[in-house]
C-alpha cells in the first residue's frame, strides 16, 4: 500500500500520509514519495492548491521510534546510508514546499510531532482539528526541529515565544496554537474536512497566476529590502495586467458574474 495517497478533487489535490497504524510516522519511502508528489503537483497546471493531511487519527508523529530503537529507518542505522540522502536539501520536503509556487494547506487532523510538525509549519496555511495537538518535544528527545522548525518558529512567533515552544517542549492544543499564531483556525472535528475543503476550493477558484505570484513575492520579500521588493511587485503586476485572467477578473467585476479563471 502506498505511504502517500493522492486524490484530486477538482483543482484541489489532497496528499494523505498513509501509515495510520503508527500515526503516519515517517519512513524514507514516505519522504521520497511525498517529495516527488510535491514536485509533480507544482508542475501540474491543473493543480491550483495542495492539501496535506494524515490518514486515520494522526497527522504525522515524526520519526518511527520503534524503527529507530531497533536501529532501523531514518532515526536508526539507516540514517548513515539511505536515510541520509533525505536530509539533503534536494530531498527535504519542507525545502521543496518552500520553493513551490503552488499554495499548500496543512490539514492537521491529529497529533503533529517532529518532522510532522515541521511539515505543517512549512505549509502556507494551517487548519487544525480541535482534537489535534502539536507536539514540539524535540529537546525532550535530544534533537532539534530538523526540517524547518528552527527557521519558521522565530518568524511565526518572535524570538522569545519560539524559545518557549521549542525549549519547554510542552504539547499545544488547537486553541493554544491559534492563540500563539501557529495555525490559522481551530475547527470542530466533525466540521474539519468540510472546512478544509471550503478553504481550498475558495483559493482554487481565484486567479491561479495571481495566487502563485503572491506566494512567490511573499517568499522573496523575506530576504529583500522594501524598495527592491517594490520593484519586483511592480514588474509582477505589469505582467499580470497582460493575462487573460486579469481581463476575466475585470469582466467579472463589471458584470457581477463569477469569474472562470484559466491560468493564462
Per-residue pLDDT at 123: 96
- Contact indicator for 50, 38 with CB cutoff of 8 Å: yes
The domain made up of 207-255 has a fold known as Lyase 2-enoyl-coa Hydratase; Chain  A, domain 2 (1.10.12)
Per-residue pLDDT at 76: 54
pTM score, whole prediction = 0.90
Instruction: Catalogue the long-range contacts made by 173-182 (C-beta closer than 8 Å, 24 or more residues apart).
Output: 173/133, 174/128, 174/129, 174/130, 174/131, 174/132, 174/133, 175/130, 177/126, 177/128, 177/134, 178/128, 181/156, 181/157, 182/121, 182/126, 182/134, 182/156, 182/157
- The residue-averaged pLDDT of 117-145 equals 91
Nearest alpha carbon to residue 117 among 24, 49, 191: 24
State yes or no: pLDDT of 194 exceeds 70. yes
Alpha-carbon gap, residue 13 to 225, rounded angstroms: 34
State yes or no: pLDDT of 130 exceeds 90. yes
- The residue-averaged pLDDT of 47-55 equals 97
Alpha-carbon gap, residue 69 to 191, rounded angstroms: 37
State yes or no: pLDDT of 26 exceeds 60. yes
Confidence band for 142, pLDDT divided at 50, 70 and 90: confident
The residues spanned by each domain of the chain are: 4-204, 207-255
| Greatest pairwise CA separation for the chain in angstroms | 65
Per-residue pLDDT at 44: 96
What would the pLDDT profile of 214-237 be if each residue is shown by its tens digit? 999 999 999 999 999 999 999 999
Q: What is the mean pLDDT of the chain?
A: 89
Instruction: List strand residue ranges (DSSP E) for the chain, in order.
Output: 4-9, 12-17, 49-54, 104-108, 112-113, 125-129, 133-135, 172-173, 185-187
Strands 125-129 and 104-108: parallel
Report whether CATH 3.90.226.10 matches the domain 4-204. Answer: yes
- The residue-averaged pLDDT of 245-259 equals 90
In the chain, pLDDT over 90 holds for what percent of residues?
A: 74
More confident residue, 105 or 87: 105
Per-residue pLDDT at 70: 59
State yes or no: pLDDT of 253 exceeds 80. yes
- Contact indicator for 17, 53 with CB cutoff of 8 Å: yes
State yes or no: pLDDT of 12 exceeds 80. yes
Residue 216 phi, psi (nearest 5) = -65, -40
For residue 40, give the C-alpha cell: 509533480
For residue 111, give the C-alpha cell: 497529533
Alpha-carbon gap, residue 256 to 52, rounded angstroms: 34
Per-residue pLDDT at 73: 58
Per-residue pLDDT at 91: 64
Confidence band for 106, pLDDT divided at 50, 70 and 90: very high
Amino acid at each position: 500500500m502506498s505511504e502517500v495517497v493522492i486524490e484530486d478533487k477538482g483543482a484541489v489535490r489532497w496528499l494523505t500520509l498513509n501509515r495510520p497504524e503508527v500515526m503516519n510516522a515517517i519512513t524514507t519511502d514516505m519522504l521520497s514519495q511525498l517529495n516527488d508528489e510535491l514536485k509533480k503537483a507544482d508542475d501540474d497546471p491543473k493543480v491550483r492548491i495542495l492539501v496535506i493531511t494524515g490518514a486515520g487519527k494522526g497527522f504525522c508523529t515524526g520519526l518511527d521510534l520503534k524503527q529507530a530503537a531497533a536501529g532501523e529507518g531514518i532515526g536508526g542505522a539507516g540514517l548513515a546510508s539511505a536515510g541520509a540522502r533525505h536530509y539533503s536539501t534536494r530531498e527535504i520536503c519542507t525545502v521543496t514546499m518552500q520553493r513551490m509556487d503552488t499554495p499548500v494547506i496543512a490539514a492537521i487532523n491529529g497529533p503533529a510531532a517532529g518532522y510532522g510538525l515541521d511539515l505543517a509549519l512549512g505549509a502556507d496555511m494551517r487548519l487544525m482539528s480541535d482534537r489535534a495537538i502539536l507536539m514540539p518535544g524535540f529537546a525532550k528527545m535530544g534533537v532539534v526541529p530538523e526540517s524547518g522548525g528552527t527557521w519558521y518558529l522565530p518568524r511565526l512567533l518572535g524570538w522569545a515565544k519560539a524559545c518557549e515552544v521549542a525549549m519547554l517542549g510542552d504539547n499545544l492544543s488547537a486553541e493554544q496554537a491559534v492563540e500563539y499564531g501557529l495555525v490559522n483556525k481551530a475547527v470542530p472535528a466533525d466540521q474539519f474536512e468540510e472546512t478544509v475543503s471550503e478553504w481550498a476550493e475558495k483559493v482554487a477558484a481565484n486567479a491561479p497566476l495571481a495566487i502563485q505570484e503572491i506566494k512567490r513575492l511573499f517568499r522573496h520579500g523575506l530576504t529583500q529590502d522594501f524598495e527592491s521588493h517594490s520593484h519586483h511587485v511592480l514588474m509582477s503586476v505589469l505582467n499580470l495586467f497582460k493575462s487573460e485572467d486579469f481581463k476575466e477578473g475585470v469582466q467579472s467585476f463589471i458584470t457581477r458574474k463569477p469569474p472562470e479563471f484559466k491560468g493564462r
